[in-house]
Amino acid sequence: MNKELRVAIIQTELVWENPEENRRLLSDKIDAIIANVDLIVLPEMFTSGFTMNPSSVAENMEGNTIVWLKEKAKEMQAVIMGSLVISENNNFYNRMVCVEPSGAITTYDKRHTFTLAGEHKVYTAGTEKVIFNYKGWKICPLVCYDLRFPVWARNTEDYDLLIYVANWPKVRVNAWDALLKARAIENMTYCIGVNRVGLDGNNHEYSGHSAAYDVLGNRMDNLTENQDATAIVVLEKEEITKYREKLNFLNDRDDFNLKE
């Protein structure tokens, strides 16, 4: 088990509906990470931006982007994760993929499709909450709109790290800031949110506000608004244990069952 987990947060612009160009640009950003890291996190729909035209960018789980992710994860000896449009069984999914250096892949399909943008009309919602283990850390991957639904993120599994990837627009970024911090505090976990910057093909503006919070809700990164940059944060397992044992907040959580 690693006592520390080093996480690289890539806050970046995305090229609209152009997977090849986005892979090229993200390769440059990943290659520029000179520190040893365990996890590299990319934004939501990192090959395309938040598109409602899935057929123009969709790939399968043997496609070019998955091959690229496996190559980069092996090269960096780090998990690389982010979401992209996947076509499977005649459905489109906004799928988070978490690719390990070994080539092992954990996937999570976004449960809460964004009805305001019509995402529910073109993408199939996921039904399963996913926790994966890497170097002794239990990690829960979620996607964008999931952030507004605390029951889905509730830490009933004693996970160590909650990660959201997003295309969260500037006009509602105050909610993003508040809810990321809240998810860390209420779940006694590290919480990282990775959002894009720039304009998309629908002229929606994104200002970033990617952030990492510790179990008490303290900000850990140094990213600024609209900054196209990479930040590295170091998470410490001992900090989780110390505050969970001292405060015992998770011991008082409610029991509940989710219904489909």
User: Do the beta carbons of residue 41 and residue 193 sit within 8 Å?
Assistant: no
Contact 106, 132 (CB under 8 A): yes
Tell me how far the alpha carbon of residue 98 is from its chain's centroid: 9
pLDDT at 1: 79
Residue 176 vs residues 107, 110, 167, 198, 254: alpha-carbon distances, Å: 23, 17, 11, 16, 25
Q: How confident is the model at residue 259 (pLDDT cuts 50, 70, 90)?
A: confident
Q: What percent of the chain has pLDDT over 70?
A: 100
At 217, is the secondary structure helix, strand, or coil?
Answer: coil
> Distance between CA 147 and CA 145 in Å, rounded?
5
Q: What is the average pLDDT score of the chain?
A: 97
* Statement: residue 260 has pLDDT above 80: no
Q: What pLDDT shows up at residue 170?
A: 98
d(CA 103, CA 68): 11
pTM: predicted TM-score of the whole model, two decimal places: 0.97
Catalytic residues: 44, 110, 144
Mean pLDDT of 211-218: 98
Fold for the domain defined by 4-252? Nitrilase/N-carbamoyl-D-aminoacid amidohydrolase (3.60.110)
CB 151 within 8 A of CB 118: no
CB atoms within 10 A of CB 148: 14
111-144 residue pLDDT tens: 999 999 999 999 999 999 999 999 999 999 999 9
Give dist(CA 31, CA 169) in Å, integer.
28
